[in-house]
Chain A
């Protein structure tokens, strides 16, 4: 479907105008490559002996090990939560499976640093639990900082990626394939192991890689929970010594790790999967859900505890500290300012990303050529760069070359655009791809010029995609933490930075209100994504 119209490149833009267009597209692409290029330049300037020396001194191997361990653990544990959840909600008569499905996806709404906040505000020193237990003489709780806390937060708030991907695969899966196994003498459990599970493997891999990517590039949870993975080590280097060489080298290592994961993910998606022969005749009655009978109790307890940990506990903690703050007269003015700031940055990023994304999306689809293909690929580089890496590179670049822009909102917005342009482009491309190039030709044949064709045919048809792209960029920008933290002008605080610094300093009452606002905004963005996801499932 994606590539349906790509092959037929009805080039309706010709000659001089076309060349100008290509130049613009190329410029945008080069701009998007700037952070990576500068990072490479810096890292190359270090020189090999110095680099080896530096990395050895900072125990880079240890950091690498930490990152790998965390990534593998989070992915495995997420699978352990997601597989039973998906199977129970899609295939069994679990009471309330519709509600469980929605609830199981909802933790996606919670950004990792908000998750980190709720965990620390619950179990940390001066947290809810400590307070509840102190009358009983409990002075000190086991520490949740470090690996355990990071694992906990990242698992609970990323497992929905695997859940959704397995769920979609289970919906696609032809029930008669399982029936065939039954008719060949396999009981239900054997059928699951020998037939269902192997066929879910592509979905598990795809979802697992998303979780791994998220974990590797996550900054919020690991920095709040003080676990020394790459992102935190880079930040610490940046803060403490301002050692640009080391920070660049660590960033480069992180980028390499991310790229490996990205390539794996693309591979797992791209490989021509065995075709599933779906029953199209409609003669087969809708598949019956497997009766759980008495096993429904353990199933309900399992689903309930996941939701309790991933959804109810965080919400409860936020409300607790919010009410506590309100009771003690905490001012809401900073929250209001932060909301406005987040909003302003988000709108600017959304407008900029769509304005730059539209020409590239159009060029990639309708004007296939070396320049446009390069541009489309270049834009996706930003997708693979962890936020902390983009931010760091721009900090160095700005401080060195562009003192006028550095420390302004424009620099921050530029970082957002580099990171989120692929999202805007993806949404726009989706709507452009569904547009038959014959429509444009029909327009020309009816006497419309290039501009009329764009205004009266292309623009209206692309509008839903453009709007969706804008909404998506806005909402992800609002949630973004590392770039905001590093590139905000002095005194410019957003919801994200407020939550982060308040949690870091254990002012839980100050983090609660912005966390609530952020969750509401984040919920909207997930809703957008889920609506798309559901459409795919139904198709």
Chain B
């Protein structure tokens, strides 16, 4: 115990020392180096995750449930201990196998999935909870500022259970922002809201975070949320970070086939790469990156075009149609038997068994086929 306390006091002293210098010089607000976490029973939840988040950046940690993203968040917050690797906040190591700064010393704000508002006190007291070291006048000034920022003015006296879901969400955010943390962590922050409310609250949260210029990490399994909300997305699969990049780049240029499958809808078509071109059933396609040997070509449904069947060529056929109003999804079967989904405008109608010709907008991306040399 006393060792720990000693460590902690050393840490906070170091933190104070380096605080001003590092915050201005280093652009990195948060660094994870090879962080791993194993749970009892040998499950490796987080496997050598390396990640850097710049100051003021909004980053999404995106992955399917069980991929270790929430555990990563809890490691950053200090609710769990790391087994390997290290975590730095503002250039100070807060977690490694030998160091564990307690949560309260890390200056991280946390917005929980279920908000975790203190049910026994009102909105104002919730927001002032992290401000207890401030003198009274500064405390109420800061609380007022944050309340305004979060659009909660007038609700100070309400109890948490008297608020709507969206309001609770903003109180949770305001509470986390109030002590001006180095970093805000948001754990599936929108999953408890109605779909109708979600888009609006998302925009609000984004603008609140932008206005306060806070570094923030969202954990989410909702790719639409991730792609629309943040500066960069880190895709996490099976405990490791597979790709960290801007949303449009992630969608257009997934680093691996697994990422491509996870982000958006994807068709894969087998082909043979010859450097800048790929031969496949749809002819010769140009590639974004050189590819050689047997590959799988990524075809996004919106990049597939359907043309009238030309006589003399083997025709593809329409198998299913799903009409959504703003667009439609047509499943076609190629002469070889492979199925492709195409997303099209609604100017043309399609009927099952209709013969067609399939073409693709180039250039395309291809991944080396699994198991091939």
Q: Which residues of A pack against B, CB within 8 Å?
A: 174, 176-177, 179-187, 194-195, 198-199, 201, 273-281, 283-285, 293-294
Q: Are B119 and A199 neighbours in the complex by a CB distance under 8 Å?
A: yes
Q: Which residues of A contact B370 (CB under 8 A)?
A: none
Instruction: Count contacts between A and B, CB distance < 8 Å.
Output: 95
Q: What is the size, in residues, of chain B's interface with A at 8 Å between Cβ atoms? A: 40
B254 touches A (CB below 8 Å): no
Tell me which residues across on chain A come within 8 A of B161, comparing CB atoms.
274-275
Q: Give the residue name and chain of the A residue nearest to B104 (CB).
A: A185
CA separation between A199 and B120, bound complex, in Å?
6
Interface flag for B1 (CB, 8 Å): yes
**CB closest residue in chain B, given A282:** B65
User: Which residues of chain A are within 8 angstroms of B103 by Cβ–Cβ distance?
Assistant: 179, 182-183
Task: Kindly list the 9 A-B residue pairs having the minimum CB-CB distance in the complex, ordered from nearest.
Answer: A184-B130, A274-B119, A182-B103, A277-B114, A176-B116, A183-B110, A180-B116, A198-B120, A176-B112
Residue of B39, B120, B132, B179 with most partner-chain A CB within 10 A: B120
Which of B71, B119, B188 is the one whose CB lies under 8 Å from A285? Answer: B71
Assess the B188–A283 pair: CB atoms within 8 A. Answer: yes
- Bound Cα distance A374, B327 (Å): 64
Residue on A with the closest CB to B8? Answer: A187
Q: Do A284 and B70 contact each other (CB < 8 Å), given the known contacts A176-B112, A183-B110, A184-B179?
A: yes
B113 and A283 within 8 A (CB)? yes
Residues of B within 8 A of A176 (CB): 112-114, 116
Q: Which of A183, A281, A294 has the most CB of B within 10 A?
A: A183
For window 60-81 of B, CB contacts with A under 8 Å fall at: 65, 70-71, 74, 77-80
- CB proximity of B139 to chain A, nearest CB, Å: 13
Q: Is the CB of B116 within 8 A of A274?
A: no
Extra pairs beyond A184-B129, A198-B120 (12, CB < 8 Å)? A179-B110, A183-B104, A183-B109, A183-B110, A183-B130, A185-B130, A185-B133, A187-B104, A275-B119, A277-B115, A281-B188, A283-B65
Q: Could you tell me the distance between the alpha carbons of A195 and B74 in the complex, rounded to whole angstroms? A: 20
Is the CB of B368 closer than 8 A to any CB of chain A?
no
Chain B residue with Cβ nearest A278: B114
Residues of B within 8 A of A285 (CB): 39, 71, 80
Q: Is B160 an interface residue (CB 8 A)?
A: yes
Q: How far is the CB of B170 from chain A (nearest CB, A)?
A: 15
CB distance from A57 to the nearest CB of B (A): 49
Is the beta-carbon distance between B110 and A279 smaller than 8 angstroms? no
Does chain A have a CB within 8 A of B118? yes
Among B103, B106, B109, chain A packs the most CB atoms within 10 A around the CB of B103
Query: Which residues of B in the span 125-152 have a Cβ within 8 Å of any Cβ on A?
Result: 129-130, 132-133
- Check A274 against B159 for contact (C-beta < 8 Å): yes
Task: Tell me whether B91 is interfacial, beta carbon within 8 Å.
Answer: no
The residue of chain B having its C-beta at the shortest distance from the C-beta of A190 within the complex is: B104
Residues in chain A near residue B179, CB distance under 8 A: 184-185
**Shortest distance between the CB of A245 and any CB in chain B (Å):** 49
B119:A276 contact, CB within 8 angstroms = yes
Establish whether residues A182 and B104, one from each chain, have CB atoms under 8 Å apart when the complex forms: yes
B176 CB within 8 Å of chain A: yes
State how many angstroms separate the Cβ of A278 from the closest Cβ of chain B: 7
Q: State whether A179 touches B120 (Cβ < 8 A).
A: no
* Cα of A277 to Cα of B159 in the assembled complex, Å: 13
Closest residue on chain A to residue B129 by CB atoms = A184
- What per-residue 1/0 map shows which CB atoms of B86-129 lie under 8 Å from chain A? 00000000000000001110101110111111111100000001
Distance between A358 CB and nearest chain B CB, rounded to angstroms: 38
Residues of chain B contacted by A187 (CB below 8 angstroms): 102, 104
Distance in angstroms from B306 CB to nearest chain A CB is: 41
CB-defined contacts of B79 to chain A, threshold 8 Å: 179, 182
Give the residues in chain A near B77, CB-CB below 8 Å.
179, 183
